[in-house]
Amino acid sequence: MTPSPTLDELLDTMHVVSIPMRVRFRGVLHREIAVFAGPSGWGEFSPFLEYDAPEASRWLAAAIDAAWGSWPVAVRSAVPVNATVPAVAASEVAAVLARYDGCRTAKVKVAERGQSLPDDVARVAAVRDTMGSGAFVRVDANGGWSVDDALSAIEALAPYVLEYVEQPCATVDELVELRKRLARNGIGVRIAADESIRKAEDPLRVARLGAADVAVVKVAPLGGVSSARRIATESGLPTVVSSAIDSSVGIAAGVALAAALPELPFACGLGTLELMAGDVVSDSLVPQAGSINVSRPTPQPALLERHRAPRERQQWWRDRVTTCFSHLARG
């Protein structure tokens, strides 16, 4: 069991930073992140601002696990990762992909609010054209389609040879229905589940109901490396370890999980740091030759100061940590 720090220990070692994004992602132009120092190293607490205490408290548990707990032994020294292409115009795709050294897999955001299916098709086509026929292309709808819309979209995107479609619909029941309809239509595209695992009270329901071919597992919303590893194992599905928009402190936890899994059949979604125009460490965990090496970098005081969030945001995060810590204590 992970040792539990006091609230004062958390707050005394906490730094809150605001790092600019290279492009708007999830409507965010600056990513606010809190990091803590503990006896095991540093942990990151960075749930998105709209998450309430029950959901955000799992991210705090993951930060405590990182800074006060222990991680499993790695069975590989590097983790292959994908490039991430936000919902940008097709003309911007090549510039985004150029930031990802050696990556031969790309995850493309689709179903963005305010955009259309032709926008998605043009973006995916640009990715395929830029990366070539030998690359792997996956798309992520973040639950943005109905079953009917997902079927139409996948039919339109399938000619670009998709590795899988991540969270095309919001609910597990919709994913089950979509997989049935894809099979009836003879469309052999895998379905991956993300939100249906990390936001669910029962993250294993996806596997029990046959709602997905691939499990996308994220350390922070699942409460830490050990918890996420257990879910990956018990699901019995091929696993892709992914991240949110994390600093290298958060990315290190995802890399630790991916490095410890006995099998890693797909590139992982841990290259998201390239979407930010800054970091809290000097030796950032970014792809090199398509992979991220297993390591645990330490934040630099100068970078923590450079990206320090305004005073009022510092207090907002202190209040948030206090609320989430209380929620964990009651849990």
Q: Tell me the C-alpha distance between 241 and 8, whole Å.
A: 32
Q: Give residue limits of the domains in the chain.
A: 7-70+301-330, 78-293
Residues with a known catalytic role: 109, 218
Query: Residues of 190-226 as b/e, b for ≥16 C-beta within 10 angstroms?
Result: bbbbbbbbbbeeebbbbbeeebbebbbbbbbbbbbbb
Q: Per CATH, which fold does 78-293 belong to?
A: TIM Barrel (3.20.20)
What is the CB neighbour count within 10 angstroms for residue 156?
Answer: 14
Annotated binding site for Mg(2+), which residues? 140, 166, 194
What integer is the mean pLDDT of 13-38? Answer: 93
Residue with tokens 């995107």: 157
Task: Give which of 50, 51, 33 is closest to 42, Cα–Cα.
Answer: 33
Question: Which CATH number describes the domain made up of 7-70+301-330?
Answer: 3.30.390.10
What local confidence, expressed as pLDDT, does residue 239 receive?
98
Note the pTM of the prediction, 2 decimals: 0.95
pLDDT of 281 higher than 80:
yes
DSSP 102: T
Token reading at 130: 């830029």
The tokens of 214 are what?
């691939």
Q: What is the pLDDT of residue 133?
A: 97
Question: What is the chain's mean pLDDT, rounded?
Answer: 96
Express each pLDDT in 134-183 by its tens digit.
999 999 999 999 999 999 999 999 999 999 999 999 999 999 999 999 99
Q: Higher pLDDT residue, 82 or 28? A: 82
Query: Binning pLDDT at 50, 70 and 90, where does residue 4 land?
Result: confident
How many CA atoms are closer than 13 Å to the CA of 180, on its beta-carbon side? 9
Is residue 2 very low, low, confident or very high in pLDDT (cuts 50, 70, 90)?
low
